[in-house]
Amino acid sequence: MTARTAPTGSPSATSHTPGPTSHGTTDPTTPHDTACPTTPHNTACPTTPHDTAGLAAPHDAPNRTAARDTAGSTAPHEVPSPTAAPHDTLRHSRDPHERSLALVELGRLTEARHLAEHALATTDSPRPHLTLAWIALDRGDAEECARHLNAATFTGPDRVRAQCLRGLALCQQADPRLAITSLSKTIRVLRRQGDRRWLANALTGRGIARAYALRLAEADADFTAAHGVLTSLGEPDRAAMCLHNRGFVAMLAGNLPTALRHYEHAARAGLRTTRRPEALLDRAEALLSAGLIREARNVLNPAVDLLDRCDRGSRLPEALLLAARCALRDDDPTAARALAERAEALFRSQHRDRWVPAARAVALRAGAPGSATAVAAACERQGHHDDAAELRLTTEPHAIRRDHGTTRSRAIGWLARARLARTRRAAAAACAAGLRLHDPATWPGAELVDIALGHALAAGDAGAALRWTERRRADPPAPTRETADALAELRLARARDDHRRVVALEREVRRLSLAAGTVRRAAFPLSDLVDSLGDRALLSFTGHGGRLAAVCVTARGARLHDLGDARAAARRTIRLELSDDPDVLAAVDRVTAPAGDRPIVVVPSAELDRVPWAALPSCRGREVSVVPSASCWLAAVRRPLRVDRRVWVVGPSLRCAEREVRALRRAHGGERVSTVGEALHALERADAVHFAAHGVRRTDVPLFSRLELADGPVHGYDFDRLTRAPSVVVLSACDSGLAPALLRRGVRVVVASVRAVPDDRVVGLMVDLHAGLGTPARTLARAQLDHGDLGFVCFGAG
Are 784 and 669 part of one and the same domain? yes
Name the least confident of 77-91, 104-118, 419-433.
Answer: 77-91
pLDDT digits (tens, 9 = 90+) for 610-650: 899 989 999 999 999 999 999 999 999 999 999 999 999 99
Across-strand partners of 649?
Answer: 673, 691
Q: Does 383 reside within a domain? A: no
Higher pLDDT, 85 or 282: 282
Selected residue with higher pLDDT from 452 and 314: 452
Say how many CA atoms lie within 13 Å of 413 toward its Cβ.
18
The 10s digit of each residue's pLDDT in 661-705 is: 999 999 999 999 999 999 999 999 999 999 999 999 999 999 999
Q: Mean pLDDT across the stretch 449-465?
A: 98
The mean pLDDT value for 64-68 works out to 26
Average pLDDT of 343-361?
94
Angle value at C-alpha 181, between 175 and 185, nearest 5 degrees: 150
* Cβ atoms of residues 271 and 48 within 8 Å: no
The CATH number assigned to the domain holding 156 equals: 1.25.40.10
Residues in contact with 422: Cβ distance below 8 Å, sequence separation at least 6, in sequence order: none
Q: How many CB atoms lie within 10 A of CB 67?
A: 13
Residue 82 has pLDDT above 50, yes or no: no
Q: For residue range 594-605, what is the model confidence (pLDDT) as tens digits?
A: 999 999 999 999
Residue 22's pLDDT band (cuts 50, 70, 90): very low
Whether 231 and 92 share a structural domain: yes
Check which CATH number belongs to the domain holding 626 and give it: 3.30.420
Residue 419's SS3 state is helix
Range of the domain at 617: 526-632
Task: Assign 379 a pLDDT band (cuts: 50, 70, 90).
Answer: very high
Q: Band the pLDDT of 796: cuts 50, 70, 90.
A: very high
83 shares a domain with 200: yes
**Alpha-carbon distance 597 to 656, whole Å?**
36
The residues with which 573 forms a beta bridge, in sequence order, are none
The reported pLDDT for the residue numbered 210 is: 96
Q: What is the pLDDT of residues 134-161, one digit of tens each?
A: 899 888 788 899 999 999 999 999 999 9
Same domain, 541 and 625: yes
Task: Look at residue 678 and tell me if it is in a domain.
Answer: yes
Whether residue 459 lies inside any domain: the answer is no
Say how many residues make up the chain: 798
Provide the mean pLDDT of the chain: 87
Cα–Cα distance for residue pair 614/794, rounded to 1 Å: 9
Query: What is 128-146 written as a DSSP string?
Result: HHHHHHHHHHHHT-HHHHH
Residue 594, domain member (yes or no): yes
pLDDT at res. 60: 36
Beta bridge partners of 557: 554
Please name every residue paired with 548 in a beta bridge, in sequence order, or none if there are none. Answer: 543
- pLDDT tens for 158-185 read 999 999 999 999 987 778 999 999 999 9
d(CA 504, CA 501): 5
Same domain, 93 and 224: yes
Q: Is 384 part of any domain?
A: no
| Contact present, 630 and 466 (Cβ < 8 Å) | yes
Q: What is the pLDDT of residue 294?
A: 86
Indicate if 676 and 622 belong to the same structural domain.
Answer: no
CA max distance for the chain: 98
Q: How far is CA 246 from CA 6, 234, 355, in A?
A: 16, 20, 22
Question: Which residues pair with residue 692 across a beta bridge?
Answer: 650, 732
Distance CA 645, CA 455 (A): 49
Say how far apart CA 467 and CA 452 lie, in whole Å.
10
State the average pLDDT over residues 564-584: 92
Model confidence, pTM? 0.82
Asked whether residue 82 falls in the same domain as residue 227, the answer is yes
Question: Is the pLDDT at 433 greater than 50, yes or no?
Answer: yes
Using pLDDT thresholds of 50, 70 and 90, give the confidence band for residue 75. very low
Tell whether the model's pLDDT for residue 50 goes beyond 70: no
Whether 118 is covered by a domain: the verdict is: yes
- The answer to whether the CB of 238 falls within 8 A of the CB of 203 is no
Quote the pLDDT of residue 707.
96
The arithmetic mean of pLDDT across residues 711-736, rounded, is: 94
pLDDT tens string 739-785? 999 999 999 999 999 888 877 789 999 999 999 999 999 999 999 99
**For residues 133 and 162, what is the distance between their CA atoms, to the nearest angstrom?**
9
Q: What percent of the chain has pLDDT over 90?
A: 71
Cβ neighbours of 245 (radius 10 Å) = 32
Q: Do 655 and 543 fall into the same domain?
A: no
Shared-domain flag, residues 652 and 617: no
Q: Looking at 496, 516, 536, which one is the last position of a domain? A: 516
Determine the Cα–Cα distance for residues 530 and 552; give it in Å rounded to an integer. 11
Q: What does the pLDDT look like over 527-557, one tens digit per residue?
A: 999 999 999 999 999 999 999 999 999 999 9
Identify whether residues 494 and 555 lie together within a single domain: no
| Domain boundary, last residue among 461, 493, 516 | 516
Contacts of residue 393, defined as CB under 8 A and 6 or more positions apart, other chains included, come to 400, 412, 415, 416
Strand, helix or coil for residue 626: strand
650: β partners = 692
**CA 229, CA 244: separation in Å to the nearest integer?**
15
Same domain membership, residue 98 and residue 74: yes
Of the candidates 492, 516, 540, which is a domain's last residue? 516
Other CB atoms within a 10 A radius of the CB of residue 398 amount to 9
pLDDT digit string (tens) for 472-505?
998 888 889 999 999 999 999 999 999 999 999 9
pLDDT of residue 312: 62
Greater confidence (226 vs 82) lies with: 226
Sorting pLDDT into bands at 50, 70 and 90, what band is 311?
low
Cβ(66)–Cβ(235) below 8 Å: yes
Q: Are residues 664 and 535 in the same domain?
A: no
Distance between CA 260 and CA 508 in Å, rounded?
12
Q: What is the DSSP letter of 548?
A: E
**What's the confidence (pLDDT) of residue 19?**
29
**22 domain residue, yes or no:** no
pLDDT at position 416 is 98
Domain count, the chain: 4
Binned at pLDDT 50, 70 and 90, residue 313 comes out as low
Q: What CATH number corresponds to the domain at position 687?
A: 3.40.50.1460
Is there a contact between 427 and 415 (Cβ–Cβ < 8 Å)?
Answer: no
Of 518, 534, 53, the residue nearest 266 (C-alpha): 53
Is 625 part of any domain?
A: yes
108: left (phi over 0), alpha (psi -120 to 50) or beta: beta
Whole-number Å distance between alpha carbons of 515 and 477: 9
| pLDDT surpassing 50 at residue 71 | no
The Cα–Cα gap between 656 and 338 comes to 59
Task: State the pLDDT at residue 38.
Answer: 29
pLDDT digits (tens, 9 = 90+) for 556-565: 999 999 999 9
Within a 10 A sphere around the Cβ of 173, how many other Cβ atoms? 22
